[in-house]
């Protein structure tokens, strides 16, 4: 069964460093998403991406964040200068699109900023 894969599963980084979280969405999907879940809190939307551009983003997705689909298969989330409060589980998701279709989520990358 096709699945969304994310790497790494866990990343530890020092405050102020740049990190790139990687995702391989399901191959025929058209919409891509990043969500995050701070420990014990709600799953929060960060950004959606369609047709090689951001289609929607939340207030959380500020200038420190960027997304890219560099090669037609990977979908990356970059955080330029990490802060302690960026520590969270980051989920990538993809969907085929069309009304009423569900999103398929990856296993998540746990980011720990120290």
Partner 1 sequence: GDSVTQMEGPVTLSEEAFLTINCTYTATGYPSLFWYVQYPGEGLQLLLKATKADDKGSNKGFEATYRKETTSFHLEKGSVQVSDSAVYFCALSERTGNQFYFGTGTSLTVIP
**Cβ neighbourhood burial of 105 (10 Å; 0-12, 13-18, 19+):** middle
Report the C-alpha gap between 66 and 54 in whole angstroms.
9
Least gap, CB of 27 to partner 1 (angstroms): 17
- Interaction of residue 112 with partner 1, rule CB under 8 A: no
Least gap, CB of 49 to partner 1 (angstroms): 9
- Find the angle CA(56)-CA(101)-CA(10) to the nearest 5 degrees: 65
**Exposure of 90 in the CB half-sphere (CA atoms within 13 A):** 32
Contact letters for partner 1, residues 52-71 (x by CB under 8 A) = ---xx-x-------------
**Exposure of 113 in the CB half-sphere (CA atoms within 13 A):** 19
Pairing mode, strands 75-79 and 104-105: unpaired
- Interaction of residue 90 with partner 1, rule CB under 8 A: no
Stretch that binds partner 1, among 11-19, 20-28, 70-78, 91-99 (CB under 8 A): 91-99
Stretch that binds partner 1, among 19-27, 47-55, 60-68, 69-77 (CB under 8 A): 47-55
Give the footprint of partner 1 on this chain (CB under 8 A): 4, 6, 30-31, 33, 35, 41-45, 48, 50, 55-56, 58, 91, 93, 95, 97-108
């Amino acid at each position: 069964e096709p699945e969304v894969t994310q790497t790494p599963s866990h990343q530890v980084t020092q405050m102020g460093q740049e990190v790139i979280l990687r995702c391989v969405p399901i191959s025929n999907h058209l919409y891509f998403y990043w969500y995050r879940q701070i420990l014990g809190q709600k799953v929060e939307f960060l950004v959606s991406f369609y047709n090689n551009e951001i289609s929607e983003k939340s207030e959380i997705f500020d200038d420190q964040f960027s997304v890219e689909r560099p090669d037609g298969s990977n979908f990356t989330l970059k955080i330029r200068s990490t802060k302690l409060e960026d520590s969270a589980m980051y989920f990538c998701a993809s969907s085929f699109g069309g009304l009423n279709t569900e999103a398929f989520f990856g296993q998540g990358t746990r980011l720990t900023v120290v």
